[in-house]
């Protein structure tokens, strides 16, 4: 299997893939990773071109394009052999950079189609964590990227990669870099296991006891499905305030990104949406996610105290359960839990 992966600088994609390689090896699956960025530096050194990590994006665009094309040609030359030797091959690239306040294309339009990848993936992370990471790096510290810029950059990275997948009629996933490594392993090597999205009240359900209940629910659910939990990259946990001089203004980009991410990335890539209400509480987010899933013909299950709840909950779902016990009793009758512990870790 051949997988093309993307992700903006600082999102943790290389670290995640390194962990996946070790994880896979421990379970008798061989993985090869082409980190194209590093290969560009090696190609430059090979032909006598000076590139430094701090200033590589200041290099002439034509030079960078030529180096990148040479690297891609090298990969194409060994790819046919690689896919026979390895269980999975990853080509890890960027779609765009945000450099000097300009979005700069980081790919050649010729090669995504030439690789004929089986799956496309974009890694993402919380914008605050990305900013902290980039602000420590000599290359990115002078750029002084704002949270808003990082969010928009990440959005572009996802949408461009998604377009490659669409044009090639291949699956596409957005993977949080804090997602368990076993999740991606299962997506690749266990195609019979379904990805699901877990929807729950967040804004109006902050009690630690309730969140622990959600954690326990997801832990059990993960024995049956590959679970995507929006809390892993929850951008909207607190009102996003950006300061301009002495004034503080609400930054709506936070909120639009949360809605777009959950509805059009996580829900879209899931086979099922499962909404869990630990208690009766208002949640416009859950209602919208249920509707999106229902209208895109996904299976929708709801666990809601007292069963029925609002008609706007039951209208957009296939089955309603009174509590977790009833739900898992139903699940055990219809689905077999994974026996391998490592798959649900």
Give the distance between the most distant pair of CA atoms in the chain.
71
326: which 2 tokens? 């009833």
* Nearest-angstrom CA–CA distance, 8 and 96: 8
Across the range 186-206, mean pLDDT stands at 89
291: which 2 tokens? 């509707």
1-191 belongs to which CATH class? alpha beta
* pLDDT band at 341; cut points 50, 70, 90: low
Identify the pLDDT of residue 238: 43
The burial class, CB within 10 Å (0-12 / 13-18 / 19+), for 334 is exposed
CATH among 1.20.1050.40, 3.30.420.480, 3.40.50.450, 2.70.98.30 for 193-345: 3.40.50.450
Q: Which residue has the higher pLDDT, 201 or 265?
A: 265
Across the range 16-38, mean pLDDT stands at 96
Does residue 36 register a pLDDT over 80? yes
Q: What is the pLDDT of residues 204-233, one digit of tens each?
A: 677 788 888 999 999 999 999 999 999 988
Q: Please check whether residue 267 is in contact with residue 285, taking contact to mean a CB–CB distance below 8 angstroms.
A: no
Give percent of the chain with pLDDT exceeding 90: 76
Same fold, 1-191 and 193-345: yes
* Nearest-angstrom CA–CA distance, 172 and 193: 16
Across the range 18-24, mean pLDDT stands at 97
* pLDDT band at 241; cut points 50, 70, 90: very low
151: which 2 tokens? 């969010």
Neighbour order of strands in the sheet with 172-176: 31-35, 88-92, 2-6, 119-124, 172-176
* Nearest-angstrom CA–CA distance, 177 and 193: 20
Q: What is the pLDDT of residues 109-125, one digit of tens each?
A: 888 888 999 999 999 99
Does residue 202 register a pLDDT over 90? no
- Cβ-based neighbours of 262, under 8 Å, separated by 6 or more: 197, 230, 285, 289
Identify the pLDDT of residue 342: 55
> Domain limits of the chain?
1-191, 193-345
Average per-residue pLDDT for the chain: 90
């Amino acid at each position: 299997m051949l997988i093309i992966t993307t992700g903006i600088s600082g999102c943790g994609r290389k670290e995640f893939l390194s962990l996946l390689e070790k994880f896979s090896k421990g379970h008798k699956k061989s993985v090869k990773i082409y980190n194209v960025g590093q290969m560009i530096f090696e190609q430059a050194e090979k032909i006598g071109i000076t590139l430094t990590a701090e200033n590589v994006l200041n290099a002439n665009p034509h030079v960078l394009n030529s180096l990148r094309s040479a690297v891609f040609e090298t990969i194409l030359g060994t790819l046919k052999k690689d896919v026979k030797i390895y269980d999975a091959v990853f080509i890890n690239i960027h779609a765009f950079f945000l450099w000097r306040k300009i979005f700069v294309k980081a790919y050649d339009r010729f090669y995504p189609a030439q690789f004929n990848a089986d799956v496309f993936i974009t890694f993402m992370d919380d914008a605050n964590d990305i900013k902290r990471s980039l602000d420590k790096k000599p290359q990115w510290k002078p750029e002084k990227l704002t949270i808003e810029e990082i969010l928009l950059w990440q959005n572009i990275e996802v949408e461009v990669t998604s377009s490659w997948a669409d044009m090639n009629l291949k699956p596409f996933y957005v993977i949080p870099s804090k997602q368990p490594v076993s999740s991606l392993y299962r997506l690749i090597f266990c195609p019979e296991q379904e990805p699901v999205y877990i929807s729950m009240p967040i804004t109006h359900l902050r009690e630690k006891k309730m969140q622990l209940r959600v954690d326990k629910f997801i832990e059990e659910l993960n024995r049956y499905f590959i679970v995507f939990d929006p809390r892993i990259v929850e951008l909207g946990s607190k009102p996003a305030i950006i300061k301009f001089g002495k004034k503080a203004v609400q930054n709506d980009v936070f909120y639009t990104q949360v809605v777009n991410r959950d509805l059009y990335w996580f829900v879209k890539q899931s086979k099922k949406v499962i909404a869990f209400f630990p208690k009766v509480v208002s949640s416009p987010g859950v209602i919208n996610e249920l509707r999106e899933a229902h209208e895109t013909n996904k299976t929708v299950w709801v666990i809601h105290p007292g069963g029925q709840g609002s008609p706007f909950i039951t209208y957009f779902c296939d089955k309603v359960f009174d509590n977790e016990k009833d739900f898992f009793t139903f699940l055990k009758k219809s689905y077999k839990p994974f026996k391998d512990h490592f798959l649900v870790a």
